[in-house]
């Protein structure tokens, strides 16, 4: 849709609140007239907008450029085993429509059933058709964002889901691992400047890394697959078939299983309440889970050295014993000055408002679609 020069400009503006033409020219190594010419075409297309005039670097008024949120709308879909959260947003992340999809006649999604449900939901959405679809999956996705290589939670292997959705909806589609999608959504909609690592705590543990402005995917699309880092030799069996994975100790699924085995309520807020009342098993479960995640993240920080670490977690966990144990363990095991250390950048909590975990992932998937529309497949 856009020319290479336009894509270059849009990549610098994506996720920003506005950038001056002078700054854009400096970052791209182009003349200001060249930036002005490219921007003029994008303004005419309705994709860019000019802000209020402010004093520029030379003292002359400058009108910063930014993406016009209403230029297009996109769909973000977060797929879980027995449901899918569908959001339609504008290019600024504002939610325009919400749908919860559920498989018909089955307890979990098959690829064909998911595609049919998305096609039916899309037909019922009012207004302008979406310019793209992003899908967040709990599993391994190939580099091109076309194929779900494997999802233990969904029970899928080698599913060409993007092609199936394109055929059914005639809408450009990209898949991402759910941790990657959350990172892209924060970059696109969360106004998160610079590079960062994201850790997500949900049914499983996820991770995503923005490096040099790009999403780090790895050779096989599996960069940041922290959920299956071995943390306990001979530990509990994981859905992936290995034993002692991080997922078996620190995820919401693991917490619920450990709580049930100890005769405690499985919900995180109930478990935290029990710990505050002095229940020893609740204290042990939360501390061990937080400490184990802390060790895994400390290893990640030492390996990747991110500028910042953002954690997407239920507020009860982040503010409670789990979060306290996690932050303390990271601080105890990373070098001075690194993110999470006592004298480095603090671990940050992701701001998701009152949204459910599925909705946060769907918002990330919408960010994937918005990024692809504006910036191409990078």
Average pLDDT over residues 145-163: 94
Contact partners, residue 173, CB within 8 Å, separation at least 6 = 132, 133, 134, 135, 161, 162, 165, 166, 369
Q: What is the pLDDT of residue 90?
A: 97
Task: Give me 327's structure tokens.
Answer: 């932050």
The DSSP line for 217-256 is --TTS-TT-GGG-B-STT-PBPTTS-BSBTHHHHSHHHHH
Assign domain 72-184+357-375 one CATH number from 3.50.50.60, 3.40.50.2300, 3.40.50.300, 3.30.420.40. 3.30.420.40
Neighbours of 37 (CB within 10 A): 12
Task: Give me 359's structure tokens.
Answer: 């909705």
User: How far is the C-alpha of 318 from the C-alpha of 184, rounded, in Å?
Assistant: 21
Q: Which fold is adopted by the domain 194-349?
A: Nucleotidyltransferase; domain 5 (3.30.420)
Using the predicted structure, report yes or no on whether residue 247 has a pLDDT greater than 90. Answer: yes
Using the predicted structure, report yes or no on whether residue 251 has a pLDDT greater than 90. Answer: yes
Using the predicted structure, report yes or no on whether residue 55 has a pLDDT greater than 80. Answer: no
Q: If we measure between CA atoms, which residue out of 312, 304, 376, 358 comes closest to residue 145?
A: 376
Cβ–Cβ under 8 Å, residues 94 and 151:
no
CA angle, residues 126, 159, 163, in degrees to nearest 5: 45
Q: What is the pLDDT of residues 56-70, one digit of tens each?
A: 666 567 789 999 999
Residue 273, CA distances (Å) to 26, 311, 314 in order: 54, 22, 14
Q: List the chain domain ranges.
A: 4-67, 72-184+357-375, 194-349
Task: Give me 181's structure tokens.
Answer: 């999608």
How many percent of the chain have pLDDT more than 90?
73
User: How far is the C-alpha of 376 from the C-alpha of 374, rounded, in Å?
Assistant: 6
Helix (H) or strand (E) holding 121: helix 111-124
Using the predicted structure, report yes or no on whether residue 207 has a pLDDT greater than 60. Answer: yes
Q: What is the pLDDT of residue 354?
A: 45
Task: Give me 195's structure tokens.
Answer: 């590079």
Q: If we measure between CA atoms, which residue out of 84, 57, 74 comes closest to residue 14?
A: 74
In this chain, the answer to whether the domains covering 72-184+357-375 and 194-349 adopt an identical fold is yes
pLDDT grade for 193, boundaries at 50, 70 and 90: confident
Task: Give me 338's structure tokens.
Answer: 């690194």
Q: Which fold is adopted by the domain 4-67?
A: Arc Repressor Mutant, subunit A (1.10.10)
């Amino acid at each position: 849709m856009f020319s290479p020069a336009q894509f270059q400009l849009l990549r610098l503006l994506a996720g920003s609140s506005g950038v001056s033409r002078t700054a854009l020219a400096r970052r791209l190594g182009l003349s200001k007239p060249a930036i002005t010419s490219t921007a003029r075409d994008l303004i005419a297309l309705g994709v860019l907008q000019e802000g209020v005039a402010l004093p520029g670097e030379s003292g002359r008024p400058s009108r910063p450029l930014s993406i016009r949120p209403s230029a297009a709308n996109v769909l973000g879909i977060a797929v879980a085993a027995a449901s899918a959260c569908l959001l339609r947003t504008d290019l600024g992340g504002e939610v325009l429509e919400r749908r919860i999809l559920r498989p018909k006649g089955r307890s979990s999604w098959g690829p064909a059933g998911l595609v049919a449900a998305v096609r039916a939901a899309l037909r019922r959405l009012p207004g302008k058709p979406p310019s793209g679809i992003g899908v967040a999956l709990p599993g391994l996705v190939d580099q091109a964002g076309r194929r779900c290589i494997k999802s233990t939670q969904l029970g899928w292997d080698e599913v060409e889901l993007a092609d199936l959705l394109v055929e059914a909806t005639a809408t450009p589609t990209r898949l991402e691992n759910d941790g990657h999608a959350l990172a892209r959504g924060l970059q696109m909609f969360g106004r998160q400047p610079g590079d960062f690592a994201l850790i997500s705590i949900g049914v499983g543990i996820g991770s995503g890394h923005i490096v040099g402005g790009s999403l780090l995917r790895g050779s096989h699309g599996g960069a940041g697959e922290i959920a299956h880092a071995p943390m306990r030799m001979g530990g509990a069996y994981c859905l992936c078939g290995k034993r002692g994975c991080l997922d078996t100790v620190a995820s919401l699924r693991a917490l619920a299983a450990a709580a049930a085995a100890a005769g405690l309520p499985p919900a995180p807020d109930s478990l935290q309440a029990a710990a505050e009342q002095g229940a020893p098993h609740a204290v042990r479960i939360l501390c061990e889970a937080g400490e184990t995640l802390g060790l895994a993240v400390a290893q990640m920080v030492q390996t990747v050295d991110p500028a910042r670490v953002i954690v997407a977690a239920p507020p009860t966990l982040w503010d409670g014993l789990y979060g306290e144990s996690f932050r303390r363990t990271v601080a105890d095991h990373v070098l001075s000055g690194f993110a999470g250390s006592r004298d480095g950048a603090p671990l940050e909590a992701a701001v998701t408002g009152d949204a459910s975990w599925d909705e946060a992932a769907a918002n990330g998937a919408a960010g994937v679609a918005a990024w692809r529309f504006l910036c191409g497949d990078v």
